[in-house]
Amino acid sequence: MHTRTLGQGLEVSAIGLGCMGMSHGFGPASDTGEMTRVLRDAVDLGVTFFDTAEVYGPRTNEELVGRALAPVRDQVVIATKFGFAFDDDGRQTGGVTSRPDDVRAAVDGSLRRLGVDHVDLLYQHRVDPDVPIEDVAGTVKELVEAGKVAHFGLSEAGAGTIRRAHAVHPVTALQSEYSLWWRELETEIVPTLQELGIGLVPFSPLGRGFLTGAITAETTFDSTDIRASMPRFTAEAREANQAVVDLLARIAEAKDATAGQVALAWLLAQEPWIVPIPGTRRTERVRENAAAADVELTGADLAAIEEAIAAVEVQGARYPEAMQRWIDR
């Protein structure tokens, strides 16, 4: 596996592994023994960058990742996130909180669940409009100085927020959605990251599975699968958006690759400091995704993709309207 360097010199595998779906968000949680095998297989395949969060499960995903990677702790980079609010019984309330005391408590909880003495990369999961980002960055800086955190990251933050946080404590990476069918970051965020020397970690780089070609207009989703409520995953939107998958499939055939590999290779070709974290529950998908780092897209390939994708109008909003309003605030 090739490696890449995010901001502040954090070296990771060129393709990481998003672990959320193993226990949260895409249907019922999978068997922990089976997921442990997948995580360890990923290490054997050269993956060194693993992404989890306090809210995944909730909290159970960190336990899974920590136990599975304990035997190879010194070989991997574990990223987790704070920022969602919980009640006294550990249930997510639906709100966010980045108050200093809550951040400290969240980090102590993550360290305990992961079974580690420090978090390699700690993200603020969502910006808290009620807490100045300077206070958040200052709290993380204290945690870095205390040896509990190595690197600071943000998730789904705007350019202004990134700049303000970075001025207090260097930001290593921004984690946000980015793929061939969601490119909003390119206008303002990517240039900001380039200027400040911050890495980009795209989540959902395969369009939550759609860009692999495995999802069609006939696919059905479990009621606990977040895609069941997403406008981009209505049957009508999936049928209209099939043109994107067809484009990837044509290029993939010429490269002796898969559509998903081309989608990941396209991301890798955008900047040397971009590290996608596709999620999966299957070793064979980890192997396929990891191999995308070896798929070379020429300048002509990239130009052809740009020309073809410009003719495709992707249908369906990224999130339901109420959720998008909550994120936009």
Measured between alpha carbons, how far is 257 from 208 in angstroms, rounded to an integer? 19
Nearest to 248 by CA among 227, 264, 263: 263
- Tracing tokens 């109008």 back to the chain, one arrives at 313
CB 91 within 8 A of CB 58: yes
The DSSP output letter for 43 is H
Residues in the chain, overall count: 329
Cβ neighbours of 56 (radius 10 Å): 26
Residues 6 or more apart in contact with residue 66 via CB below 8 angstroms: 78, 113, 114, 115, 116
Measured between alpha carbons, how far is 121 from 151 in angstroms, rounded to an integer? 5
Nearest to 42 by CA among 9, 74, 19: 19
Catalytic one of 56, 123, 178, 319: 56
- 123 assigned to active site: no
The DSSP output letter for 305 is H
The DSSP output letter for 15 is S
What is the side-by-side strand order in the sheet with 199-203?
A: 17-18, 49-51, 77-82, 119-124, 149-155, 171-177, 199-203
Cβ neighbours of 135 (radius 10 Å): 15
Cα–Cα–Cα angle for 140, 143, 147, rounded to 5 degrees: 140
SS (H, E, C) 52-86: CCCCCCCCHHHHHHHHHHHHHHHHCEEEEEECEEE
Residues with catalytic function: 56
